[in-house]
Structure 1
Amino acid sequence: MERNKPNSSIKSIYRFSTLTNFNFNFFTLQFLIVTSFLFYLKLTYVAWGSIPIFLLFLYFSRSNKYSFNQKSIVAVLALTGYFTYAFIFYGKTFNFIVLLYIIPIVLLIIIRYHQFMFYLIGLLIVTFGTIIYFDFFGFDYGNKMYYEKDIYNMFFYFIVVMIMIYLIVLLTARTNLVKYIIEDLKTKNNELEESRLELKKLQINKESFFAIMSHEIRTPLNAIKGISDILKNHKLSEEDQYLLELMDYSSNHLLALVNNILDFTKLNDGAFTLQYSEFSLTNALNSLFKMNERLALEKGLRFEIETATDIPNYVYGDKNRINQIVLNLLNNAIEYTNAGTVKMQVNGEYSSDSKDEFLLQITISDTGKGIDKELAKKLFQKYATTNTSTNSVGLGLTISKGLIDLMHGTISFQSTPNEGTIFFISIPLPVVHNTTANLDAMDSSFCDSIIKILLVDDNKINLLVLEKQLKNHLKNSQITIAYNGLEALNLIKEHEYDIVLMDVIMPVMGGIEATKLVRNLTDDTKKSIPIIALTANVGEKELAECLNSGMNDCVTKPFEISTLLKLIKSFKTS
């Protein structure tokens, strides 16, 4: 948008102000003529009475102290009084002066004071009725001060001409005003359209920025998590093990921050969807608890978990998002508690109709600083924070609330400053009664089996880390490496592989294009080879594009090696 463009709205406002004062300029001129004409006809009582009206309109035409509506109300009252005064003096033979009452009535219509207009009309009816009543009984109003001169026709035509001129001028002025309003609306509409296009560009740039940043951060983060997984299989000293856990915790925290920003954007845009799968509820929550245990103990806190015995073994839901919600609340509880206890209670109840749905209830309590009343009012709004956090970007609770709403659950809290806070979470989850396999265990026969794997990625660090991870868990796996989609396509044509782990964005040829070409091969065995996307793109559109190209599944970086192994196993045994 051009910043040096003149502000058309200011011009329009000036025009409106000019047209508003134009009515009083015309009234001033009109009453100057009326006063002169009345003196010419020697109607001195009415002529002298018009001079205050003339002076009033002259003042209004020059002053900007009052609004148009305020000026109009005063003008209506003055005109009504003046016309009534003239009618009383010359009423019987001068009764066509009633025509002049059109002027204040028109003024009231212009400023939309309809109720006042009805009052004015009522006053006129009472005034005329009173005069007619007195004339009926012989009072002969209007003839006492009237001299013997017939001015009826001349004055009548004069008044009619003045009223017609006023109405024509008023119509012209209002027509111009409407024209200026339309021009102003067109200008504003153009400005709004330009703003809309600018916002659309900003939205596209924002989405592009988040996608690029997510991809660039997730790629090295995947290597860090992979190295952490490799080091866990080595014999380490207690201090090294502790440092490894800190590195793992920090990488998970960095990933949470990246996810928070992306999730907040998706939730705001209404583009967020949940990813449902079967998972062990107890194992997931216990892992979260263990993940934070060391941090709580280092602060000298009692860190407790209490799980009910009737929790279902497996449920169907978005495990990652439930973990994200609970992890955020546990992190906050530990961070804002300097002494005392942080406790997580897990329980719930089955649906009254059947045991196919379980209402998960999680309570996280602490004895920390609590939440003051001012913050409590906006706790689930974006960037709400106590300003003492060193690890929070103020999005965690906002996103947690949005995720829980998507799951048709609820979140609430109770807090007393300097005593502690309790968060209550309720999420309905379908129960899985017959799970096909233990998702948390890898049988030895699979780990010892010979699996031919083709790794495709342009990042050499990621390739080195993933190769070592696979070799650690799949002892007899045979791994081949390709650095782009074209190399992968040629290797698939020449050799046999059990599965392909394919990056998406690569030089020469990307993973999506390579997958499409593989699916078009003439060899039925080669064209149906399982291809799993290993991508740092987490957008719904990008993931859908992977699946539409023919890829069998997607794993987003950074990933847990156990997640990838389970997926490989599912394709190997199918």
Structure 2
Amino acid sequence: MKPVNLLLLDDKEENIISLSALLSEVEHINIISCTDPNEALKICWRNDISIALVDVQMPEINGFEFVSLLKSNPKTSHIIAIMVTAISKEDKYLVKGLESGAVDYLYKPLNPEITIAKVSSFVKQVHIQEEIKYKNIALEESRRQLIQAKEEAEQARKSKEMFLANMSHEIRTPINGIMGIIHMLRNSSLDEEQKDWLNRLDSSSNSLLLIINDILDISKIDSGMMKIEYESFSIHQKLMDMNKIFKIKAEDKGLSFGMYIADNVPEYIKSDPLRIQQVIGNFISNSLKFTENGEVSLIVEAKEQTESTCKIKFTVKDTGIGIRTEVVEKIFLAFEQGDDGITKKFGGTGLGLAIVKRLATLLNGEVSAKSSFGNGSEFSFEAPFEVVDKYATETESENTPLADLNRFEGINVLVAEDNDLNSFILTNLLQTWGCRVDIVKNGRDAVNKTREKKYNLIMMDTHMPIMSGFEAIKEIKKNDEANNVVTPILTISASVLKHEQAAAYEAGADSVIGKPFNPLDLHEKIEKLISK
């Protein structure tokens, strides 16, 4: 423990000697003595004095004046001053000492026990104050580091978000072109071999889109941006729809797929059907991937049920390769596989089950896995759900040929898109629906074109060179206001970030569609915009 510097000030040398001898029994102090008040002030200024025992009656400067001088100087105001006096114990002297800044009195002749006890107490107080001071410094440093870490985390989050936005745009844009061509080819005359090629191309593009969505989903969950959208729906119907899809996938691989729904499972629940489908579908897809022979089955049963709630357990079993016991928990970690060799043989990002675990948490549920290496695995998802009597029926889009949709005869459309493939697809779709189309490749050309010609609809890509879609929208809207016209603008965004889509509306867009888009959705949005 660091020694405390203690000053003894008395004009009589013999008093200093006796007091020094008395205080020699006190631990952790370093005694500095002086008989001259002026010299003592210099000592206090130059040295780290913590406690001062000051004689009251001294020539030139008495004890009261000395303490007042100490307390008036910021450099020495922290010193604990104790008056040592032989004069009367009357209250007026006590008050005078306290008013000058002293904290206590010692009366001559000094009582050894009282003197040692008081000085020891103040030495402890100084040590406590020093400890508090150092802890405050440490806390301030920790606070500074936390603020810095928070700023760095925020910067990293923004960088990550910007990277994801750019990645989404750069990858979704060509995928939109590929899927657009697929939709166009489906509405043309194809032989059976060409249809098979098209189906394979469609499957590959959807697989690529799924990987991108996985990366974006786990990022949104980790950043707290993923929200659960509650709605009432038929869990039985949702499971049967999934059954149709996975039966076909299982048959393509030479496997059997079975589904068992217990009688006690309620018909209608309130939750997020998309996320539930994502969890169960991920389990099934995973089992189908790692099962070479045999079957994959889904078992759904109600574990706990009241009038308004029900805990439902979804279990997927397979006869696949299985997982080693020591790595079962590892499969729920992001970018991890149960075995490093699995990625080489079966592929995959290692994100699927990590997303499932996070989604299960968002749904107030939990996931688990059991496996016998070489003999199959079992994955479970269990969560409580609100039981409801009715649900909103979902309207299914009819598989209508694109050429048979309502036509927009005589409609002039300006397409602002810097990607040649996407502008080609949009032009063909719009012309199929009877539109007259002009194409530009940047926002500046789009603004200039609207000043030359009146359009019934503008389709604007958000990310373009020279002038972005957002800037172009603002310029066009200003021009519309000046000419008292209203031109509906539909922005085409490859970003799935909500703030970027919201920015399109803030800029003045009337509607937003994401890439890749379904032609039926595009037709519906155009129909709504031009009908206004």
For the superposition of Structure 1 and Structure 2, which TM-score range results when normalised by the shorter chain?
0.5 to 0.7
Asked if structure 1 preserves the Cα contact closer than 8 Å seen for 2:247 and 2:256, the reply is no
| Offset at residue 265 of structure 1 (A) | 2.0
Of 276-285 and 541-550, the range deviating more from structure 2: 276-285
**Is 2:162 the counterpart of 1:208?**
yes
**Partner Cα distance (1:319, 1:567) in 2:** 24
Give the match's secondary structure for 1:394.
coil
Q: State the partner residue of 2:352.
A: 396
Give the match's secondary structure for 2:459.
strand
Per the alignment, do residues 422 and 165 of structure 1 end up closer, same or farther by CA in structure 2, a change over 3 Å counting? closer
**Partner Cα distance (1:173, 1:313) in 2:** 71
Give the match's secondary structure for 2:206.
helix
Q: State the partner residue of 2:287.
A: 333
Give the match's secondary structure for 1:562.
helix
Of 200-209 and 317-326, the range deviating more from structure 2: 317-326
Asked if structure 1 preserves the Cα contact closer than 8 Å seen for 2:406 and 2:433, the reply is yes
**Partner Cα distance (1:186, 1:414) in 2:** 45
| Offset at residue 208 of structure 1 (A) | 1.7
* Residues 317-353 of structure 1 deviation map (CA, whole Å, 9 limit, x = unaligned): 86765554444233202112121112457999xx998
Give the match's secondary structure for 2:413.
strand
Aligned 1:365-384 pairs, distance under 5 A? 365-370=317-322, 380=332, 382-383=334-335
1:368 maps to a residue whose letter is: G
Query: Where does the alignment leave 5 or more consecutive residues of structure 1 unmatched?
Result: 1-17, 24-36, 41-52, 59-153
Per the alignment, do residues 189 and 316 of structure 1 end up closer, same or farther by CA in structure 2, a change over 3 Å counting? closer
**Partner Cα distance (1:493, 1:278) in 2:** 48
Per the alignment, do residues 525 and 374 of structure 1 end up closer, same or farther by CA in structure 2, a change over 3 Å counting? farther
**Partner Cα distance (1:548, 1:294) in 2:** 44
**Partner Cα distance (1:181, 1:506) in 2:** 54
**Is 2:139 the counterpart of 1:185?**
yes
Per the alignment, do residues 441 and 505 of structure 1 end up closer, same or farther by CA in structure 2, a change over 3 Å counting? same
Per the alignment, do residues 306 and 441 of structure 1 end up closer, same or farther by CA in structure 2, a change over 3 Å counting? farther
Q: State the partner residue of 1:421.
A: 378
| Offset at residue 533 of structure 1 (A) | 1.7
Per the alignment, do residues 246 and 438 of structure 1 end up closer, same or farther by CA in structure 2, a change over 3 Å counting? closer
* Residues 10-54 of structure 1 deviation map (CA, whole Å, 9 limit, x = unaligned): xxxxxxxx53xx59xxxxxxxxxxxxx9xx9xxxxxxxxxxxx99
**Partner Cα distance (1:532, 1:250) in 2:** 29
2:320 maps to a residue whose letter is: G
Q: State the partner residue of 1:459.
A: 419
* Residues 66-97 of structure 1 deviation map (CA, whole Å, 9 limit, x = unaligned): xxxxxxxxxxxxxxxxxxxxxxxxxxxxxxxx
**Partner Cα distance (1:360, 1:548) in 2:** 42
Aligned 1:441-480 pairs, distance under 5 A? 441-442=399-400, 446-450=405-409, 451-471=411-431, 474-480=432-438
Q: State the partner residue of 2:178.
A: 224
Give the match's secondary structure for 1:453.
strand
**Partner Cα distance (1:237, 1:445) in 2:** 21
Per the alignment, do residues 433 and 382 of structure 1 end up closer, same or farther by CA in structure 2, a change over 3 Å counting? closer
Asked if structure 2 preserves the Cα contact closer than 8 Å seen for 1:360 and 1:428, the reply is no
Asked if structure 1 preserves the Cα contact closer than 8 Å seen for 2:357 and 2:367, the reply is no
**Partner Cα distance (2:445, 2:404) in 1:** 31
* Residues 333-390 of structure 1 deviation map (CA, whole Å, 9 limit, x = unaligned): 2112121112457999xx9989xx9999976443324556655556655456423344
Asked if structure 1 preserves the Cα contact closer than 8 Å seen for 2:490 and 2:511, the reply is yes
Per the alignment, do residues 573 and 446 of structure 1 end up closer, same or farther by CA in structure 2, a change over 3 Å counting? farther
Asked if structure 2 preserves the Cα contact closer than 8 Å seen for 1:279 and 1:439, the reply is no
**Is 2:462 the counterpart of 1:510?**
no
| Offset at residue 542 of structure 1 (A) | 0.8
The structure that is helix-richer by fraction is 1
1:541 maps to a residue whose letter is: H
**Partner Cα distance (2:407, 2:235) in 1:** 29
| Offset at residue 251 of structure 1 (A) | 2.2
| Offset at residue 301 of structure 1 (A) | 1.3
2:436 maps to a residue whose letter is: Q
Per the alignment, do residues 265 and 456 of structure 1 end up closer, same or farther by CA in structure 2, a change over 3 Å counting? same
Per the alignment, do residues 364 and 488 of structure 1 end up closer, same or farther by CA in structure 2, a change over 3 Å counting? farther
Q: State the partner residue of 1:552.
A: 510
Asked if structure 1 preserves the Cα contact closer than 8 Å seen for 2:463 and 2:469, the reply is yes
**Is 2:448 the counterpart of 1:487?**
no
Quick one: which of 469, 492, 497 aligns to 1:534?
Answer: 492
Q: State the partner residue of 1:561.
A: 519
Give the match's secondary structure for 2:405.
helix
Percent identical among aligned pairs is: 28
1:564 maps to a residue whose letter is: L
Asked if structure 1 preserves the Cα contact closer than 8 Å seen for 2:416 and 2:443, the reply is yes
How many aligned positions are there? 427
| Offset at residue 504 of structure 1 (A) | 0.9
* Residues 450-473 of structure 1 deviation map (CA, whole Å, 9 limit, x = unaligned): 2543322111222113333445xx
Q: State the partner residue of 2:50.
A: none
Q: State the partner residue of 1:126.
A: none
| Offset at residue 306 of structure 1 (A) | 7.7
Aligned 1:237-386 pairs, distance under 5 A? 238=192, 240-273=194-227, 296-304=250-258, 321=275, 324-343=278-297, 364-370=316-322, 380=332, 382-383=334-335, 385-386=337-338
The structure that is strand-richer by fraction is 2
Per the alignment, do residues 506 and 169 of structure 1 end up closer, same or farther by CA in structure 2, a change over 3 Å counting? same
1:464 maps to a residue whose letter is: F
* Residues 382-417 of structure 1 deviation map (CA, whole Å, 9 limit, x = unaligned): 4564233443333323323444555x5756556452
**Partner Cα distance (1:277, 1:573) in 2:** 30
Give the match's secondary structure for 1:500.
strand
Higher Cα Rg, which structure: 1
| Offset at residue 495 of structure 1 (A) | 3.9
**Partner Cα distance (2:193, 2:397) in 1:** 31
**Partner Cα distance (1:497, 1:425) in 2:** 54
Per the alignment, do residues 195 and 346 of structure 1 end up closer, same or farther by CA in structure 2, a change over 3 Å counting? closer
| Offset at residue 512 of structure 1 (A) | 2.3
Query: Where does the alignment leave 5 or more consecutive residues of structure 2 unmatched?
Result: 5-17, 29-107
| Offset at residue 283 of structure 1 (A) | 9.4
Q: CA RMSD in A?
A: 5.0
1:549 maps to a residue whose letter is: A
Asked if structure 2 preserves the Cα contact closer than 8 Å seen for 1:446 and 1:569, the reply is no
**Partner Cα distance (1:298, 1:258) in 2:** 24
**Partner Cα distance (1:189, 1:535) in 2:** 41
Of 158-167 and 259-268, the range deviating more from structure 2: 158-167
Q: TM-score, normalised by structure 1?
A: 0.59
Give the match's secondary structure for 1:186.
helix
Q: State the partner residue of 1:26.
A: none
| Offset at residue 449 of structure 1 (A) | 4.7
**Partner Cα distance (1:173, 1:315) in 2:** 65
Give the match's secondary structure for 1:454.
strand
**Partner Cα distance (1:204, 1:339) in 2:** 46
2:512 maps to a residue whose letter is: C
Asked if structure 2 preserves the Cα contact closer than 8 Å seen for 1:383 and 1:395, the reply is yes
| Offset at residue 539 of structure 1 (A) | 0.8
**Partner Cα distance (2:311, 2:484) in 1:** 46
Q: State the partner residue of 1:128.
A: none
**Partner Cα distance (1:346, 1:453) in 2:** 50
Asked if structure 2 preserves the Cα contact closer than 8 Å seen for 1:317 and 1:429, the reply is no
Asked if structure 2 preserves the Cα contact closer than 8 Å seen for 1:368 and 1:419, the reply is yes
